[in-house]
């Protein structure tokens, strides 16, 4: 099934997406200003910890798959290239 979107639909979607991101940034900045570091910091810590756990699970499952270790090595290589500015 091929989806075709008009240029106007894509442009409108991008504008809406941008406006939503700006609104969230303003919301978050206000939340951080009005709440103690400990309150919003705990939420941030949970979010970051959950991302790390999810990443570790992903790599553990990938390593078990066929050619998983090879794929992990390729990802490491891409990461090294990205960090080196090549």
Distance between CA atoms of 64 and 53, rounded to whole angstroms? 17
Token reading at 74:
């390729």
pLDDT value at position 18?
Answer: 95
Q: What is the pTM of this model?
A: 0.56
Distance between CA atoms of 66 and 85, rounded to whole angstroms? 31
Q: What is the pLDDT of residues 47-65, one digit of tens each?
A: 999 999 999 999 999 999 9
DSSP-derived 3-state class of residue 3: coil
Token reading at 20:
């939503």
pLDDT value at position 77?
Answer: 86
What residue spans define the domains of the chain?
9-84
pLDDT value at position 68?
Answer: 92
Distance between CA atoms of 53 and 33, rounded to whole angstroms? 29
Q: Which residues of the chain have pLDDT under 70?
A: 1-2, 85-86
């Amino acid at each position: 099934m091929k989806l075709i979107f008009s240029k106007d639909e894509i442009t409108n979607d991008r504008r809406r997406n941008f406006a939503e991101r700006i609104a969230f940034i303003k919301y978050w900045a206000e939340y951080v200003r009005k709440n103690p570091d400990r309150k919003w910091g705990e939420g941030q810590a949970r979010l970051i910890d959950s991302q790390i756990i999810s990443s570790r699970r992903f790599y553990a499952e990938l390593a078990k798959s066929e050619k998983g270790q090879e794929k992990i090595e390729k990802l490491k290589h891409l990461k090294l290239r990205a960090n080196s500015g090549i």
